[in-house]
Amino acid sequence: AESLDTAWAVRWIGAAADAVAEHRTELVALDRAIGDGDHGENLDRGFTAAREKLGDEFTGPGAVLKMVAMTLMSKVGGAAGPLYGTAFLRAATSLGDGDASAEALAAALAAARDGVVSRGKAEVGDATMVDAWTPAVDAAEQAASNGASPAEVLAAAADAAQTGAESTDALQARKGRASYLGERSVGHRDPGAVSTVLLLRAAADAAGA
């Protein structure tokens, strides 16, 4: 498809809720190693609540993402709730009212990443979800400018996010709870970077990538 519609966004959030539930214990284990062990529970609670609101009427993909933002902000808490809440809200605003073209998706991902950075002040290399988001945005923008379809843009973003999440293994955490461990955070994958991959992969899958 040349652009992605409300039904795509609804499929995405349903798939995201499935993925987070399926990987809940993995996310908990990652966060237990370098944080407080709640990342999987937090996200599962948030996306389960968002899924329950998918039956409502939405006027476009941006409206779905705005609902998700509000739900995550009220249900998730911790660091990830406000960060993902901001990401979804900025993406919703970037998309506006219409369906999402490849270029619009790349711009929405960039807006989401910029929201995470403005809220959390992490840079690439600090071993946070920004290490997944930033290569995802770069790959999405490159794919869109090369004429990729919306599904291809999202698949490129998910693939790059996966590589970015793997890069956190070797990094010392400099933001969030994991930074309290200092050098002992090296050798662990950041849970928020892993959940970012799950969310982007769900978006690509929902687009038929």
Position among 129, 139, 204, 209 found at the interface with ligand ADP (CB under 6 A): 129
Q: Which of 11, 38, 185, 200 binds Mg ion (CB under 5 A)?
A: 38
Q: Among residues 20 and 144, whose Cβ is nearest to ligand ADP? A: 20
Q: Quick one: which segment of 65-73, 75-83, 90-98, 142-150 binds ligand ADP (CB under 6 A)?
A: 75-83
31 Cβ contact partners less than 8 Å away, ≥ 6 residues apart:
37, 38, 39, 40, 191
Is 85 a binding residue for ligand ADP by CB under 6 A? The answer is no
- Judged by CB under 6 A, the residue of 177, 181, 186, 208 near ligand ADP is 177
- Which of 78, 82, 125, 208 binds Mg ion (CB under 5 A)? It is 78
| HSE-up (13 A, CA, CB side) for residue 51 | 17
Q: Is 175 in the site for ligand ADP (CB under 6 A)?
A: yes
Return the percent helix, strand and coil in the chain, to nearest 5.
75, 0, 25
Asked if residue 136 lies in contact with residue 196, where contact means CB atoms within 8 angstroms, the answer is: yes
What is the DSSP secondary structure assignment for residue 172, as one 8-state letter?
P
Nearest Cα residue to 108 out of 157, 51, 55: 157
Closest CB to ligand ADP among 101 and 128? 128
- The single residue listed with the structure tokens 């010392």 is 172
Q: Which secondary structure element, helix H or strand E, spans residue 182, and what is its range?
A: none
Instruction: Tell me: does residue 162 bind ligand ADP (CB under 6 A).
Output: no
Q: Does 191 bind ligand ADP (CB under 6 A)?
A: yes
List contacts with ligand ADP (CB under 6 A).
Answer: 31, 35-36, 38-39, 42, 78-80, 83, 116, 120-122, 128-130, 175-177, 190-193
